[in-house]
Amino acid sequence: MRSSLKTVRLRPQESQWVDQFLKQNLWVESFSELARIAVLDFIARQSVIPIHPITMRAKKKRPKFLWDYDLDAQEVKTILNEQPISKKVWLIARILEHAPFDEVWNYLTLDEIAEALPKLRMNEKRKKHWEFVLHEWTSQ
């Protein structure tokens, strides 16, 4: 699931209201989350499109490497276990680039990394790091 970037322009007074609201309501993590909640709530009230605003769900504990996706650790594991490689390369790259080294092993095995690495679009320095790790650990 990829996010789509939309721009919201606010008047100065509206921007102040939003900032004040976010300071008083720490359960809303960001302006983006507030905007999603507001837009989905508006659409649900104004149309027949069946939408279930995210405010109705319990907050998920996201892995830190997925700050911009609404997935928890179990959903990540489900994607990794059930999707073909073509559908999960983005997630593997995200894990290898942004997860703490010790946390990588909660989601991936050395064999899975070896299979996916040639197909990954990721930071070249990090990719070389993982190629080195694979070489060192599998050549012994």
Number of domains making up the chain? 2
| Structural domain contains residue 82 | yes
**Same-domain check for residues 134 and 68:** yes
Q: What is the pLDDT of residue 56?
A: 42
pLDDT of residue 23: 81
In a domain, 3, yes or no: no
Residues 72 and 121 in one domain: yes
Same domain membership, residue 101 and residue 51: no
Q: Is the dihedral of CA 19, 22, 28, 34 positive or negative?
A: negative
How confident is the model over 13-68, as pLDDT tens digits?
888 888 888 788 777 777 887 777 777 777 766 665 555 555 444 566 889 888 88
Residues 51 and 71 reside in one and the same domain: no
Say which residue, 50 or 88, is predicted with more confidence. Answer: 88
Mean pLDDT of 83-111: 93
Whether residue 86 has pLDDT greater than 80: yes
The pLDDT of residue 57: 47
Q: What is the pLDDT of residue 68?
A: 82
The span from the CA of 72 to the CA of 95, in Å, is 13
Complete DSSP assignment for the chain: -----------HHHHHHHHHHHHH-TTS--HHHHHHHHHHHHHHHHSS-----GGGSPPP---GGGTTS---HHHHHHHHHHS-HHHHHHHHHHHHHHS-HHHHTTT--HHHHHHHGGG----HHHHHHHHHHHHHHH--
What domain range is 132 assigned to?
A: 64-138
Higher pLDDT, 62 or 140: 62
Same domain, 73 and 52: no
30 and 79 co-located in one domain: no
Residue 105: exposed, middle, or buried by beta-carbon count in 10 A (0-12, 13-18, 19+)?
Answer: exposed
Q: Which pLDDT tens digit goes with each residue over 103-125? A: 999 999 999 999 999 999 999 99
